[in-house]
Structure 1
Amino acid sequence: MRPARKVCDLTGPGLTDRFGVGGTDLGATVRAPDGRLVSVFGDTFEDAGVGGAGWRSPIVLFADPGSLATGLRWTGSAGPDEYAYQVVDYTHHGYRRVRSGPLGWRQVSTVLPTDLLTVGGDLWLHVMACRGLGNVRATELHRSRDSGVTWDPAGVRWPGNHLGGLFQMLTWEADADGEWVYALSTGFQRAHGLLLQRVPADRLTGPDAWQGWGWDGTDWGWDRSPTLVLPGAFGEMSLRRVPDASGHEWWLLVVFDAGNYRIDAYLLDHPTANLHEAPRATLVHGCGWGEEDHDAGRVAQLYGGYIVPGSTLSGLHLVVSQWNTGTNWPYRSMQFRADVGALARSLTWP
């Protein structure tokens, strides 16, 4: 199977300057209730690179869904003007340019988004409050009732050590009936495996409503302490329902496997499928600077890997990040395209 190929850069000079976005990363994306694509980004600066003026996180950009094939075309941002404001309210090392209500945390260095979710007419955002990268003090949900323009705390928060610290980095998706939301999570240290939970779609803010998928020594079941469904050293991930060429929807997990320095895709018939046996394809390989070939899926200091709505198995579009920590540029998000349709031949649609 061929690796992913780069479609275009999504952020950086000449692309997102009008939003006050020179350097940024991440880019989890969903389709909003109003039909637009909504992408959420992490630490953002006005100049290309890391540092300098305009440090804020998270920010939101909107894209035209019709631009998927040739590269997302940004049409606006969450702000009263074109400038992409920070959508969660906290003081960011003295920098403050926000449009939301009180967060309740202070003395954190940054608040990073992990994933978005659309349920009915609402958008949900899961974030991590960090005091330094990898040190998560708490996670929290925020909600937007206007398709991502404004956001408010949803009133639920988990400590950073919840589930042994493996409820920090998260991805989630609702089932086709809109009844359950399934969530995979791990720590933010890129040193841990994955846990699986589910929660009724109408009870996201009820901590007691979240059910773990666990092994009791005999079999797997719900409403147990969650057990690792896949050991490893994982980072950013994206769980979505994605159709194949015939229109059948599969569950697809795209995950940054930091331990093996690559972005992989796992094809599942259900979120509870055995990830040890699921068909897997490597989409993007990590490499050193000077060894890159974006047309062959080789990217230096890569991470992320978020599925873009409108994707199919044969036309899978991803948002991939890159940060040269030695020079602080490139520090950007890019769009890649892959074909994982062959994975579906390994499974039978029920």
Structure 2
Amino acid sequence: MTKLTKVKDLNPHPNLPRPIGGTDLGIPFVMPNGRVGYVYGDTFGGTTQIAGGPDWRSPVIVTSPTRDMTQPIVIDGACRGGDQLWPYVHANGEFSTVLPCDVVVIGSRLYLWVMITQGLGNEKWCEIWYSDDNGETWHNGTGYATPGVGASSHWSTSAFRGQRVMMTWDRGRDGWVYAISTGGLARNKNALLWRVREDDILDPAKWEGWCWLNNQWQWKANPADHEPGDILPAGARLGEIGLRWIQGHWVFSGFDAGAY
């Protein structure tokens, strides 16, 4: 048996302009400027490790110069000083919070998939936001402005049997982005496989699902007539999924509530 030794606490982060006490997630990605970003979900202020504290915000991105994983991670910066990435009011009557799922970097642009939720396990819709300045300024790629105003092209949480809610993705280094999706925080769905050309990532009609059709697996664009099939054995009930291209291999991780 290998004995694991705790290296250090990663939070609180009291040294940021908006200090972080309690938070969750911490989804890693390499930023266009070479630093490593970590995307946080529901984040709270203060200097103690408390969830549900003051200064509720989400999503948040902190940054690190640490690229050598044999060394302790040093968090010494944050996008927007640790502020929420774009302004909105939590628990506003329409939704409670915006939870990030994953970031993919294409050229100098960051794309962030988020779930708009009304309480945990009740995802209302999804959106893709993007930033062209290393996370300082964000734009909604789905045409959504403010609650009740200018809403269009939301990514449905009921389409494809409710399995295109939580999303993880990475570049395939072949001009395509590959993605795996599942349900939301109820953790009661299997996984689906997708791909989309890097230039078309914001267009839902250009996404192709991995479908079982005519007795074979095949990619099918906008598969409204035949939905993508589960890619894992029956009984998988996923959450906290992660997909990365690492040293020539696709690596997929996740929490399987079905085998918990």
TM-score scaled to structure 1, two decimals?
0.64
Post-superposition CA distance 1:215-269 (Å, at most 9, x none): 12511000042111114111011111112xxxxx1111111122223xxxxxxxx
Is the contact made by 1:235 and 1:258 (CA closer than 8 Å) also made in structure 2? yes
State the match for 1:174 in structure 2: 171
- Residue identity in the other structure for 1:154: G
State the match for 1:93 in structure 2: 91
Identity across the alignment (%)? 37
Task: Mark the CA change 1:132 to 1:3 in structure 2 (over 3 Å): closer, same or farther.
Answer: farther
Is the contact made by 1:67 and 1:73 (CA closer than 8 Å) also made in structure 2? no
State the match for 2:228 in structure 1: 226
Higher RCO (C-alpha 8 Å, min separation 6): 1
Match of 2:181 among 177, 182, 185: 185
- Residue identity in the other structure for 1:118: V
Could you tell me how far apart the structure 2 residues matched to 1:3 and 1:258 are?
26
Task: Mark the CA change 1:2 to 1:50 in structure 2 (over 3 Å): closer, same or farther.
Answer: same
State the match for 1:114 in structure 2: 101
1:137 shift after superposition: 0.4
Could you tell me how far apart the structure 1 residues matched to 2:76 and 2:44 are?
19
1:3 shift after superposition: 9.5
Task: Mark the CA change 1:222 to 1:10 in structure 2 (over 3 Å): closer, same or farther.
Answer: same
1:127 aligns with 2:127: no
State the match for 2:147 in structure 1: none
Please provide the CA RMSD for this pair. 2.0
Match of 1:214 among 204, 211, 216: 211
Could you tell me how far apart the structure 2 residues matched to 1:119 and 1:4 are?
36
Task: Mark the CA change 1:22 to 1:235 in structure 2 (over 3 Å): closer, same or farther.
Answer: same
Greater shift in the superposed pair: 26-35 or 159-168: 159-168
**Unaligned 5+ runs, structure 1:** 95-105, 244-248, 262-350
Give runs of aligned pairs for residues 1-350 of structure 1, distance below 5 A. Answer: 7-12=7-12, 16-19=13-16, 20-47=19-46, 48-66=49-67, 68-79=69-80, 82=81, 84-93=82-91, 107-155=94-142, 156-177=153-174, 179-188=175-184, 189-216=186-213, 218-223=215-220, 224=223, 225-230=227-232, 231=234, 232-243=236-247, 249-261=248-260
Post-superposition CA distance 1:295-320 (Å, at most 9, x none): xxxxxxxxxxxxxxxxxxxxxxxxxx
Q: Identify, as 1 or 2, the structure richer in strand.
A: 1
Post-superposition CA distance 1:84-113 (Å, at most 9, x none): 11113321136xxxxxxxxxxx72101000
Greater shift in the superposed pair: 147-156 or 198-207: 147-156
Task: Mark the CA change 1:117 to 1:5 in structure 2 (over 3 Å): closer, same or farther.
Answer: farther
Is the contact made by 1:42 and 1:58 (CA closer than 8 Å) also made in structure 2? yes
Is the contact made by 1:10 and 1:71 (CA closer than 8 Å) also made in structure 2? no
Task: Mark the CA change 1:190 to 1:52 in structure 2 (over 3 Å): closer, same or farther.
Answer: same
1:151 shift after superposition: 1.4
TM-score scaled to structure 2, two decimals?
0.85
SS at match of 1:163: helix
Could you tell me how far apart the structure 1 residues matched to 2:139 and 2:131 are?
7
Runs of 4+ residues deviating >4 angstroms: 1-7
1:202 shift after superposition: 0.6
**Unaligned 5+ runs, structure 2:** 143-152
Could you tell me how far apart the structure 1 residues matched to 2:5 and 2:173 are?
30
Is the contact made by 2:109 and 2:132 (CA closer than 8 Å) also made in structure 1? yes
1:38 shift after superposition: 1.2
SS at match of 1:123: strand
Is the contact made by 1:7 and 1:70 (CA closer than 8 Å) also made in structure 2? no
SS at match of 1:128: strand
Is the contact made by 1:172 and 1:240 (CA closer than 8 Å) also made in structure 2? yes
Is the contact made by 1:77 and 1:149 (CA closer than 8 Å) also made in structure 2? no
Aligned length: 238
